[in-house]
Amino acid sequence: MKRLLQLLAVPALLALVAQAAAAAPAPIAVGKPAPQFTYQLLGGRTLTPAQLHGHKYILWVMGTWCPSCRTGSQIAAQHITELERAHVALVEMEAYENLGGNGPTLASVKRSIGKPAQAQNWYWGILNQVQTATIDPKSDMDIFYLVDAHGKVVSQGMAPGAHWGQIDAFIHDR
Amino acid sequence: MLIADLAAIVVVLLWATFAARRAGQSAGVLAAAAMKLAFTPPAVLRSALLMLLIGVPLTAFYLVALPAERFGALAWGALQFLTPGDAIAAVLIGLGVPVSIAINLTTRKARAAQATLTFGGVIAALLPSSLCCTTLIPSALATLGASAPVVMHLSGRFQGFFAQYAAAFIGVAVAAVLLSLWLAASNLAAGCALSLVTTKDDR
C-alpha cells in the first residue's frame, strides 16, 4: 500500500510542478505578445483582453508614492484627448503592494488629476502579484510598454512624462 | 522642500551664532570678513575662477537634478518642475561649495602652519557633493540590481524610501554646505589673517 502511494505521489508532484510552471506567464518582452491578463480596475470593474483586442494601448506600471509617476499622470492628462482621437488606451496600473513603498491610494491620485482622468480610454487599476511579476519582473518603477493593435509589445520605456515623444511617435506610427 | 531648506538654514545659523558667541565673536561679522578676504586681491581671481568653473556648472546641475526626481529623467525638461525650494537648495549647494573652497584656500595660503584644519574644511566643503541628489541614488541601486535579482526585487522599496525622504536628504545637503562655510569662516577667524584684515578695515 505504502509503495503504491509512493508511486502515485511522484507523478502527482510532477503534474503540480508542471501546472505551476504553465500558470506563471513568461515575463513581458519587446517583440513578444503582451500578457493576456484581466486587470482589476478601480470601482470594481475589470479590463479584459477582449476589450483591448484590436486597440493600441500603453501599459504603464506605477506607484502612488513615485513622484515621476504622478507627474507622468499630469502630463498624460494633457494628452488624453489626443490619445482618445487616435484610439489609443492608457492602462495605468499600480504595482502590487505599491512595490513596498508607502503612498496615497490610487483613487486619490486619480482624483487629483481631475476630469481628464475620467476619460473612456484611461483605465486605472491595481496589478496582482502574478501580473506585477510578469509585467515588471525587475521591480522597476514608472515603466511603460507600448502595445500595438495586434497585441504585440513594440517598445518600452521609463517615465512616460519625461519621454512623451516616444509615446507620440507610437500614436502617430512614426 | 522649502521647509527642509529653511530648517537647514535656521539650524546652521543658530549653531553658528551660538558657537561664535562662545568664542566672543559675532557670526555675521566673522562670515562677512571671511568673504571679504576671499573675494578681494590677491585671492579674488582664484575665487572668481572657482565660482565660474565649479559654482556655475554645479548650480546648473542641481537646478536640473533636483526636480528630475519629479520629472523622471535628468534632462532640461525637468526645469519646468523646478520649485522655489529646489531653486534655493540648488543655489545654496551649487554656489556654497566653491565659496567654501575659496575661503579654505585663502585660509591655507594665510595659515600654512594649520593646513590640517584647513584640509578638514575642504573635505567638509566637498562632502555635500556625495549627497548631490536623490534621483541618482535609486538609479544607482537599479543599475547595481541589474545583476542581482534580490536587489532588483527591493529596488522599488528603496526608491520609495528615497522618494519619501527626498526633502530631508536635500535639507541635510544644504546644512552640510552651510556648515562647511561656517567651518571655513571660523578657521579664518582662528588665525591672524582675519584679524589683520579687520584691523586694516577698522582704520
Q: Is the pLDDT of residue B195 over 90?
A: no
Distances (CA, A) of A39 to A59, A87, A93, A124, A126: 11, 19, 9, 9, 7
Q: What is the CA radius of gyration of chain A?
A: 19
Contact B154 A139 (CB under 8 A): yes
Q: Which residue has 496589478 as its cell numbers? A: A127
Could you read off the pLDDT of B57-109 as tens digits, one per residue? 989 988 988 888 888 888 898 899 999 998 998 998 888 888 888 888 887 77
The mean predicted confidence, pLDDT, of chain B is 72
Of the partner residues B71, B75, B161, the one whose CB lies closest to the CB of residue A71: B71
Q: Is residue A34 part of a domain?
A: yes
Residue A15 is assigned to a structural domain of this protein: no
Can you give the pLDDT at residue A14?
59
pLDDT at B120: 57
The mean pLDDT value for B120-138 works out to: 46
Range of the domain at A46: 28-171
Mean pLDDT within A94-113: 92
* pLDDT(B111) > 60: yes
What pLDDT does residue A3 have?
65
Q: Which three cell numbers stand for residue B9?
A: 538654514
User: What count of residues does chain B have?
Assistant: 203
Q: Which residue, chain included where needed, has cell 584684515? A: B197
What residues of chain A lie within 8 A of the CB of B77, using their CB?
162
Residues of A in contact with B134 (CB under 8 A): none
CATH of the domain at A93: 3.40.30.10
In a domain, A105, yes or no: yes
Is A73 contained in some domain?
A: yes
Mean pLDDT of B137-162: 49
Q: B70 to chain A: which residues are within 8 Å by CB? A: 67-68, 70-71
Instruction: Answer yes or no: is A68 within a domain.
Output: yes
Partner residue opposite B164 with nearest CB, options A69, A102, A142: A102
Helix (H), strand (E) counts: chain B: 10, 0
**B157 contacts A101? CB cut-off 8 A:** yes
Which range has the top average pLDDT, A6-20, B20-34, B41-55? Answer: B41-55
pTM score, two decimals? Answer: 0.72
Task: Answer with the residue of higher pLDDT: A96 or B173.
Answer: A96
Query: Would you state the pLDDT for residue A163?
Result: 92
User: How many domains are there within chain A?
Assistant: 1
Q: How far apart are CA B90 and CA B93, in angstroms?
A: 5
Distance from C-alpha of A59 to C-alpha of A136, rounded to nearest angstrom: 11
DSSP structure string for B30-52: HHHHHHHHHTSTTTHHHHHHHII
The verdict on A112 touching B (C-beta cutoff 8 Å) is no
Residue A95 maps to a domain? yes
Give me the residues paired with residue A41 across strands: A125
